[in-house]
Amino acid sequence: MSRKGLKDFLHLFYPYPDVFHRSFAARVTGMPRRREWRRVKVCEIFTSIQGESTYTGLACTFVRLTGCNLRCVYCDTQYAFEGGIDMPLDDIVSHVKLVGVNLVEITGGEPLLQGNDTILLVRALLEEGFEVLVETNGSLGVGGVDRRAVLILDVKTPSSGMSGEINYANFDYLKPSDEVKFVICDRGDYDWAKDIVAKFRLMERAKVLFSPALGMLPPRQLAKWIVEDRLEVRLNVQIHKYIFGPDERGV
């Protein structure tokens, strides 16, 4: 029986909306699932001011996905480890379009934990003309992420407790529009990060950002070290924490 014939047959016995028939027919015939059937688990979607990266200060819609495979000591989004709701990719894209802000960030948790569905979401947003940032903890491979998106790649310093999870192969996928971020907790992290930047020639691959861990290292101290060493990295302060407070969600 042809696919059309199967669909017509199903209409005789299952008088439900067409969405049921497409789903059932795909399972029976092995037809590829269309994008609207793909889902990701979403912790929250909100629009605010971008508080980090070279995009600091711009209006941005954030799509925060649920789940993370790391447990950094300074994590400020532990609420994203679990919970959330399964949302079709097309519903997310429609919501972002309705908001009307061109800059979109896919973040977490760790967004790449949701694999190909996250990659398809990034592509869908790019195809709608959005500028897309993908913030990832650097432990999972980024090779499948659409090259049109901007990667914000964390490199976990020793004080995070997660530096053993770094996927150094990701550096090979960096491009000049991407950003590499080090969260610095103390002088040891700073010296370690300098060595990584030099060893992998990260300044030649992407933009490099050093961020003081909130409550652990005063920004003025990190700024002093950067200036003393004439280090050509960007000091990256989380301005949303200063604008809205360190504990407020959805900002």
Which domains does the chain show, CATH number per domain? 1-32 (no CATH), 35-244 (3.20.20.70)
Looking at residue 100, the DSSP 8-state letter turns out to be: T
Torsion of CA 124, 127, 128, 133, to 10 degrees: 70
109: which residues sit within 8 A by CB, 6+ positions away? 43, 64, 65, 66, 67, 68, 77, 80, 81
For residue 66, how many other CB atoms are within 10 A of its CB?
23
Residue at token pair 């037809």: 31
Nearest by Cα to 242 from 251, 230, 233: 251
pTM reported for the whole predicted model = 0.83
Mapping DSSP onto H, E and C, the string for 6-50 reads HHHHHHHHCCCCHHHHHHHHHHHHCCCCCHHHCEEEEEEEEEEEC
Nearest by Cα to 20 from 31, 30, 32, 11: 11
Nearest by Cα to 48 from 62, 68, 32: 62
Q: Which two tokens stand for residue 217?
A: 């290292």
60-88: pLDDT as tens digits = 999 999 999 999 999 988 999 999 999 99
Q: Going residue by residue through the chain (251 aa), what tens digit of pLDDT does each one get? A: 444 443 443 333 333 333 333 333 333 333 334 565 799 999 999 999 999 999 999 999 999 999 999 999 999 889 999 999 999 999 999 999 999 999 999 999 999 999 999 999 999 999 999 999 999 999 999 999 999 999 999 999 999 999 999 999 999 999 999 999 999 999 999 999 999 999 999 999 999 999 999 999 999 999 999 999 999 999 999 888 777 776 667 65
Nearest by Cα to 152 from 54, 48, 251: 54
Direct distance between the N- and C-terminal alpha carbons of the chain, in angstroms, rounded to an integer: 53
Angle ∠(106,217,70) on CA atoms, nearest 5: 40
Classify residue 53 as left (phi > 0), alpha (psi -120 to 50) or beta. left
Asked if residue 108 lies in contact with residue 64, where contact means CB atoms within 8 angstroms, the answer is yes
For residue 100, how many other CB atoms are within 10 A of its CB?
9
